[in-house]
């Protein structure tokens, strides 16, 4: 069966719907960057996290933010997405997330899991964590080298098992960042993930952001991209809960094959973020610069910023680049993702035209 006409029809509907989102955005995922402190030093970290900074929000400020978000947006449609750094290194983590839970918010977390002992796993359940994504970026030695922590793999795998053993979370997910150096380990990693009682395995590509800009040798080649998406598609067709992230437009052959639906950059239309210092932005992976930061919760109310700013994220990026604007895929790609856009040159840093389609 030729699915191209079906996919084209779906993508056209999504393109029309995107225009509606630009006019009437709906906040669904709100990221809290609780700290930039981290006990690992991942070479691909988009935020270049290492240590906490002196201007990070206090517990009382997070409480106020939670109150304001509840008053302005309610709790029924919003998922709080907790990240860092390593969020568990915020000394007030359990107080903050316990308060969010008491106020009725659903929340999940991204973590390296090295600090998740059996007791911590149970405390996470007690304060209402529903979902978690844990980073595993290769086999033992590769993972430890990429993430800069000897013994990190074993501690992370133990943390995953501790989460599974609690047995009350809606989803325990593993995320793997694939680069040119670890792509040969995908098959072995699949055997490991298949042996764990996790709910899904999320596989994403290395992006040209943060510290990864210092390692161009580890960016995926054209052959790597094809290999990666074929790997995901084949295992999804076999029924495994494997998925690609929301990063890029993949063309008709791979769209709706390697993830649940079609590509849409959520930045500023479904997603907003509050950084550790209070800055308000869209996706936390987007380069932090004056035009991408939309305000700060110490002087601005998130609701006002969401309603009256974010113009940068509510139009097609392809409008800013003549070549993209003239591309026959522009209606579906829209200039691709904000996190991989070169804001100095107004062009995408990742374009899979010529590689996948």
Looking at residue 47, what is its pLDDT? Answer: 64
Does 210 score more than 90 pLDDT? no
Looking at residue 211, what is its pLDDT? Answer: 85
Outline where the chain has alpha helix (H): 4-23, 59-73, 93-102, 118-126, 140-147, 152-166, 186-194, 222-237, 302-308, 322-326, 330-333
Indicate the pTM of the whole model.
0.96
What is the share, in percent, of the chain residues with pLDDT greater than 90? 93
* Cross-sheet strand order for the sheet of 295-296: 242-244, 200-205, 171-178, 129-135, 106-111, 79-83, 29-33, 271-274, 279-281, 295-296
pLDDT level of residue 85 (50, 70, 90 thresholds) = very high
- Give whole-number Cα distances, 85 to 3, 35, 36, 101, in Å: 41, 6, 4, 21
Cβ atoms 336, 57 nearer than 8 A: no
Give pLDDT tens digits for 212-229: 888 999 999 999 999 999
Give pLDDT tens digits for 240-299: 999 999 999 999 999 999 999 999 999 999 999 999 999 999 999 999 999 999 999 999
Does 168 score more than 70 pLDDT? yes
What mean pLDDT, rounded, does the chain reach? 96
Give pLDDT tens digits for 26-73: 999 999 999 999 999 888 886 666 666 789 999 999 999 999 999 999
Cα 225 from Cα 262, distance rounded (Å): 18
Looking at residue 53, what is its pLDDT? Answer: 74
Name, in order, each residue with C-beta under 8 angstroms of 83's C-beta and a sequence gap of 6 or more.
Answer: 31, 32, 33, 34, 109, 110, 284
Q: What would the two tokens of residue 258 be?
A: 């390697």
Cα 253 from Cα 333, distance rounded (Å): 14
Looking at residue 80, what is its pLDDT? Answer: 98
Cβ atoms 296, 279 nearer than 8 A: yes
Question: What phi, psi does 31 have (nearest 5°)?
Answer: -90, 135
Q: How do beta strands 129-135 and 295-296 pair? A: unpaired
């Amino acid at each position: 069966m030729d699915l191209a006409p079906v996919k084209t029809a779906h993508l056209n509907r999504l393109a029309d719907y995107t225009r509606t989102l630009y006019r009437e955005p709906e906040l669904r995922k709100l990221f809290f960057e609780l700290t930039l402190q981290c006990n690992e030093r991942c070479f691909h970290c988009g935020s270049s996290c290492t240590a906490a900074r002196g201007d990070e929000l206090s517990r009382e400020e997070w409480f106020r933010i939670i109150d304001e978000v509840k008053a302005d947006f309610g709790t029924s449609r919003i998922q709080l997405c907790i990240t860092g750094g390593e969020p568990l290194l915020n000394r007030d983590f359990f107080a903050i997330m316990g308060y969010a839970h008491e106020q009725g918010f659903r929340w999940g977390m991204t973590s390296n899991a090295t600090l998740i002992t059996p007791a911590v796993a149970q405390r996470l359940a007690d304060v209402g964590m529903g979902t978690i994504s844990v980073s595993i970026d290769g086999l033992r030695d590769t993972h430890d080298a990429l993430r800069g922590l000897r013994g990190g793999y074993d501690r992370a795998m133990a943390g995953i098992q501790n989460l599974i053993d609690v047995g009350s979370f809606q989803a325990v997910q593993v995320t793997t960042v694939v680069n040119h150096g670890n792509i040969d380990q995908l098959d072995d990693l699949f055997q490991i993930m298949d042996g764990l009682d996790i709910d899904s395995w999320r596989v994403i590509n290395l992006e040209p952001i943060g510290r990864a800009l210092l390692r161009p040798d580890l960016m995926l080649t054209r052959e790597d991209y094809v290999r990666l998406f074929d790997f995901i598609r084949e295992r999804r067709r076999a029924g495994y809960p494997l998925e690609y992230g929301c990063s890029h437009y993949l063309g008709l052959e791979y769209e709706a094959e390697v993830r649940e639906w079609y590509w849409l950059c959520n930045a500023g239309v479904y997603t907003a973020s509050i950084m550790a210092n209070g800055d308000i932005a869209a996706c936390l992976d987007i380069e932090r610069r004056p035009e991408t930061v939309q305000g700060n919760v110490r002087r601005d109310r998130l609701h006002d910023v969401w309603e009256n700013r974010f113009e940068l994220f509510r139009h097609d990026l392809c409008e800013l680049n003549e070549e993209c604007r003239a591309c026959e895929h522009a209606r579906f790609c829209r200039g691709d993702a904000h996190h991989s856009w070169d804001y100095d040159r107004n062009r995408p840093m990742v374009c899979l035209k010529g590689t996948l389609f």
